[in-house]
Amino acid sequence: MPTDPFELFDQWFAEARASEPNEVEAMAVATTGADEQPSVRMVLLKAFGPEGFTFYTHERSAKGDDLRENPRAALLFHWKSLGRQIRIEGAVERTSNAEADAYFATRAPDSQLGAWASDQSRPLDSRDTFERRFEEAKRRFEGQDVARPPGWGGYRVVPERIEFWAAREHRLHERRLFTRDRDGWSEGLLYP
């Protein structure tokens, strides 16, 4: 079994791609802002590697507000078909504008326009308002590439702890914990 947490993540992620019926990239992101109120939501993983785990959103969203006030997060992947989950905790940094631009360019046109139309997580008086704003964005960018909106970008969770959990019969689960230290990673087991 791999002793590098990124190699193990890559292996488990590949196995989940082969068996998980829906959005293997879905992960829960937990944040806490200045009010110390925990908040969790699902997002999609868009890149991963030794530098961290990346997702994209509006910086003025609830998670963006939290991360500005407290740049730390926890992630959770749960792949029911495999009986596995991975927990990741660490500091959060912004991706570069070039990374955000490159990813934004790969999104479906309607998703790009939706990013312009949405004041994510802010109160909305009616669905009609959002749909009207979407149509306005559609007209604005008709016949041209949709630029990345200001304030829309990427966040990278730089892991300090990565736990791999595998289900076993009778709740005798297996838990492997990798903790970052000066020399790389130390590894240990946790009771189920």
Report, as residue numbers or ranges, the catalytic residues.
Answer: 171
Residue with the two structure tokens 């019926």? 21
Question: Within 13 Å, how many C-alpha atoms sit on residue 116's CB side?
Answer: 21
Gap between the Cα atoms of 68 and 56, Å rounded: 14
Six token digits for residue 19: 């068996």
Six token digits for residue 12: 């488990």
**Other C-beta atoms within 10 Å of 24: how many?**
20
Residue type, 8: L
Q: Which residues sit opposite 166 in a β-bridge?
A: 84, 174
* Helices within the chain (DSSP H only): 5-19, 62-69, 97-106, 109-117, 127-140
**Other C-beta atoms within 10 Å of 190: how many?**
11
CB 52 within 8 A of CB 90: yes
